[in-house]
């Protein structure tokens, strides 16, 4: 029987994640999901979910290295763990890219959908704190638009 031809992907040698003020550029229009499901209990609970996902490029603060990224915007639900951070960043496992998850309020989400639908959001920024085990807290974030 022939040996498997499946090869394991090489691990990308990542540089250290830079703490500080990052910049970003949205690469395309986002896609999203909205819905509701029953969370098993006890007690069972009806939970909504709403999020947007968009491709981007993020730029590190000191070296100005440009990295591909996936940015997700999440609306907090009653079951979301309580955290002080405004979001988080982590590295992809087999690909040189970042994943950035940012929490938004229901009102911010509504406004962002409109801004993206009008193609008004292009640039964003975020502050990354010291992290551990592939998780870096985002202390703040924002996006710019022009009317």
Determine the pLDDT at residue 5. 67
d(CA 70, CA 101): 8
Kindly state the tokens that stand for 83. 């955290």
Q: How confident is the model at residue 132 (pLDDT cuts 50, 70, 90)?
A: confident
**Is 96 within 8 Å of 12 (Cβ atoms)?**
yes
Q: What is the mean pLDDT of the segment spanning 19-44?
A: 87
Q: What is the mean pLDDT of the segment spanning 26-51?
A: 84
Determine the pLDDT at residue 102. 92
Determine the pLDDT at residue 13. 66
Kindly state the tokens that stand for 144. 């710019």
Per-domain residue ranges of the chain: 21-145
Determine the pLDDT at residue 54. 94
- Pick 12 or 27 by higher pLDDT: 27
If we measure between CA atoms, which residue out of 65, 54, 73, 60 comes closest to residue 119?
Answer: 54
Burial class (CB in 10 A: 0-12, 13-18, 19+), 74: middle
- Pick 77 or 24 by higher pLDDT: 24
Handedness of CA 31, 115, 18, 103 (dihedral sign): negative
Q: What is the mean pLDDT of the segment spanning 49-77?
A: 90
């Amino acid at each position: 029987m022939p040996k498997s031809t499946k090869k394991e992907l090489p691990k990308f040698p990542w540089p250290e994640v830079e703490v500080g003020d990052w910049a970003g550029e949205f690469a395309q229009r986002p896609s999203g999901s909205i819905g509701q499901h029953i969370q098993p209990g006890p007690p069972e609970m009806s939970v909504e979910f709403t999020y947007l996902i968009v491709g981007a490029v993020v730029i590190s603060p000191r070296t100005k290295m440009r990295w591909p990224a996936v940015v997700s915007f999440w609306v907090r639900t009653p079951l979301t763990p309580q955290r002080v951070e405004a979001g988080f960043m982590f590295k992809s496992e087999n690909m040189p890219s970042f994943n950035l998850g940012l929490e938004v309020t229901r009102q911010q989400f509504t406004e962002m959908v409109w801004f993206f639908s009008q193609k008004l959001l292009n640039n964003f920024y975020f502050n990354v704190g010291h992290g551990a085990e592939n998780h870096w807290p985002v202390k703040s974030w924002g996006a710019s638009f022009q009317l």
